[in-house]
Amino acid sequence: MRDVAKLSGVSISTVSRVINSSANVDIATRIKVEENIKKLRYKPNLLAKGLRIGSGNLIGLLVPDAMHYTFASFISYIEEYVTARDHSLVLGSTNNNPILEEKIVEDLIRRNVDGIIFSRVSDQSRVMRILNTTEVPVVIIDRTFPNEEIPTVALNNEKAGELAAEHLAELGHTAIACITGPMNISICRERLHGFVTKLKEYGVTLNERYIFEGNFKHESGLKAVNHFMESNLGITALWAQNDLMAIGAIKGFQSKGIRIPHQVSIIGMDDIELAKIFIPALTTIRQPFREMCENAVKMLLRETNESKKIIVEPTLSIRESTSRLGEVGATSEG
Amino acid sequence: MRDVAKLSGVSISTVSRVINSSANVDIATRIKVEENIKKLRYKPNLLAKGLRIGSGNLIGLLVPDAMHYTFASFISYIEEYVTARDHSLVLGSTNNNPILEEKIVEDLIRRNVDGIIFSRVSDQSRVMRILNTTEVPVVIIDRTFPNEEIPTVALNNEKAGELAAEHLAELGHTAIACITGPMNISICRERLHGFVTKLKEYGVTLNERYIFEGNFKHESGLKAVNHFMESNLGITALWAQNDLMAIGAIKGFQSKGIRIPHQVSIIGMDDIELAKIFIPALTTIRQPFREMCENAVKMLLRETNESKKIIVEPTLSIRESTSRLGEVGATSEG
DNA sequence: TTGTAAGCGTTATCAT
DNA sequence: ATGATAACGCTTACAA
């Protein structure tokens, strides 16, 4: 910067003004300075700038597992929106390790980030402490904490359950089961509640024997099928609260010679890439991840008036793994 | 920091020494200072530190697409290794857009990153220019540029092709096809070369009619199958240069009533999560992504003596989609 | 062992 | 419209 100033015969303050396109600078000097910036390949130092203005021009993103589909989506979309706003993204993966999470958050704060996006934060109180102890804006994405005033963007999980219920009920099913995620996670309870409630509207009651608590992994689907088969409930339709478990369930049924969707209709949730590719292609509840991420970034950067909770709506994606009760599905079982 | 110094009755240089655990500081004052750091919840500012010592304590990672399995893996592993070394990861996704790539790189340099990891860089010359114009260490992961001295960690892609060939040939197949990635990418050519060469050792010649150039997407597998079926080559085995295309091929065959692996053996590459879950579970060539990432980080941070090229070896993962010619596979077709 | 002071590369205030 | 200068929060000779 000094070199540019010297070469241009001006002071560094003028160079600074040129860089920040300040109004009050003579057009001639501006051009000269800009030329010399190019000539000297001068690149303003963001650390110095950040130190001075008290902002690192960074957004922090914390996820529990960067490889998982949901979070990989978040990372990808948030990076896109953050970069478009001339910020950079620093990414931390916590693996649900509170110590690590703490360390990363501390690091972010020390970097003067302009905000932090938490996805599936491990512990509500931790976030609260950060919020109370620093000025750094925080928004939580994907999971909601009902009793707090933390800015949040989340899915309407009730609605997700309702959509699944509606679809299955409309297809004529009455013996319907559900594989949930871990029930200590609120989104899972909300999803189930919506599912049960809507089903009741159709006159079908989902008692506990039709509910299997999974862990969001593929294996849960297999286990659930074994469980349901042993119970001999004669179910003809099933909703799994994520696609991985739905696919596990399909495999489980198929390995017992049961055809999908001919004998059992299955619906998932998330709409992972695999959902389209799998045979049969998976009917599923789609989450608008992109929209969620955009809202999170906008909220963080105060681009929107909404500063508390933004709820986005799921949609139903009908493919091949569900069919009308008693009817053959649209495709072969593969 | 000033506050801590004042409260402790020492100068800020002493506080600095405590923070950086410098040797020469009285144990009593150290303890006192540490107490006050806690008490005041003092968090050293990384921008100021970075400005002073000329290092942002940051590692930059550039990928073309953060959602793609390969790169999601890179992101996850590299974040892990970077964090373990008390650095932070700033992530940029280029979408193969050179303008964007340039912008992100510039930003990283201006942040005084300690190094940049490029994955699938869009343009070799660009990297070279960065290398020549700045002091920032760079390593390329996954793709290699044969004629340059850029530090690189990559797979032995020749070997990948050889493993696939060996496996298929040992199973007695002779009518063997290959779905490649885009042939303008060197790794695809290398893979094919290894495949063809090893096959020749077994006495089978792979002429052009048995080669289909795909684009690494699922659809390529379907198209390839149509192509091969129309050509009426009677192939009994096929290698796809990634799992997505392999799965597409399986779907393609199955939709024509051809059973996998009974009638056609199929082998993929990457070992994506889906490979284990798919029916039939996919035999595939596994890339040691974790090892690659560890090496990349170590190389960047000069923790290893190797400073040019590190080549890692693929391995064969045998599952259900391949079987001996004429024999029924180990599992039902699902 | 500890303190003083210079300097890292910016921006911002205040003159001119 | 431009320049001098202080300040951002830290590290590091150098001195004591």
Interface probe with B: pick from A75, A94, A95, A117, most Cβ of B within 10 Å: A75
Rounded mean pLDDT, B99-104:
91
**Confidence (pLDDT) at B248:** 95
Mean pLDDT of B50-65: 96
> Which of A120, A283, A127, A97 lies closest to A188, judged by CA?
A120
**pLDDT value of residue A199:** 98
pLDDT grade for B124, boundaries at 50, 70 and 90:
low
More confident residue, B212 or B305: B212
Neighbouring-strand partners of residue A309? A152
| Nucleotide closest to residue A54 (CA–C1') | D8
Q: Does residue B24 register a pLDDT over 90?
A: no
Asked if A55 and A135 touch (Cβ cutoff 8 Å), the reply is no
Written as one string, the DSSP assignment of A122-190 is S-HHHHHHHHHH----EEEES---TTS---EEEE-HHHHHHHHHHHHHHTT--SEEEEES-TTSHHHHH
Mean pLDDT over each residue of chain B, to the nearest integer? 92
Nucleotides of chain C in contact with protein CB (under 7 A) are: 1-5, 7-13
What are phi and psi for residue A216, nearest 5 degrees? 75, 0
pLDDT at A124: 67
Q: Where are the alpha helices (DSSP H) in A171-288?
A: 186-201, 218-231, 243-255, 273-277
Separation in Å: D2 C1' and A239 CA:
70
Q: Which of B149, B107, B158, B112 has the alpha carbon at shortest distance from B127?
A: B149
CA distance B229 to chain A (A): 18
Distance CA A124 to C1' D10 in A:
33
> Would the pTM count as exceeding 0.85?
yes
pLDDT (mean) for B117-133: 76
Confirm if B195 and B206 have CB atoms less than 8 A apart. Answer: yes
| Mean pLDDT of the region B35-52 | 96
Provide, as residue numbers in chain B, all residues whose Cβ is less than 8 Å from the Cβ of A111: 46-47, 88
CA of A263 to C1' of C4 (A): 84
pLDDT given at position A332: 39
What's the confidence (pLDDT) of residue A331?
Answer: 43
Residue-level pLDDT at A175: 97
Q: What is the pLDDT of residue B123?
A: 67
- What is the arithmetic mean of pLDDT over B292-316? 93
Q: Which residues touch strand D (CB under 7 A)?
A: A 9-14, 17, 23-26, 28-30, 48, 51-52, 54; B 1-2, 12-13, 16-17, 19-20, 42-45, 48-49, 51-53
Res B328: pLDDT: 56
Chain A hits for B133, CB-CB cut-off 8 Å, are: 41
- Residue A54 (CA) to nucleotide D1 (C1'), in angstroms, measures 27
Whole-angstrom distance, CA of residue B84 vs CA of residue B297: 11
| Per-position pLDDT tens, chain A of length 334 | 889 999 999 999 999 999 998 778 899 999 999 999 999 999 999 999 999 999 999 999 999 999 999 999 999 999 999 999 999 999 999 998 888 998 999 999 999 999 999 997 766 667 777 777 888 999 999 987 776 788 999 999 999 999 999 999 999 999 999 999 999 888 999 999 999 999 999 999 999 999 999 999 999 999 999 999 999 999 999 999 999 999 999 999 999 999 999 999 999 999 998 899 888 999 999 999 999 999 999 999 999 988 789 999 999 999 999 999 976 544 433 3
Longest dimension (CA), chain A: 88
Q: Which nucleotide is nearest to B29 (CA to C1')?
A: C1
> Mapped to the 3 state alphabet, what secondary structure does A32-83 carry?
HHHHHHHHCCCCCCHHHHHHHHCCCCEEEEEECCCCCHHHHHHHHHHHHHHH
B273-283 pLDDT, tens per residue? 889 988 899 99
| pLDDT at B232 exceeding the cut of 70 | yes
Dump pLDDT digits (tens) for B157-178: 999 999 999 999 999 999 999 9
Q: Do A107 and B46 touch (CB under 8 A)?
A: yes
Residue A22 is given by DSSP the state -
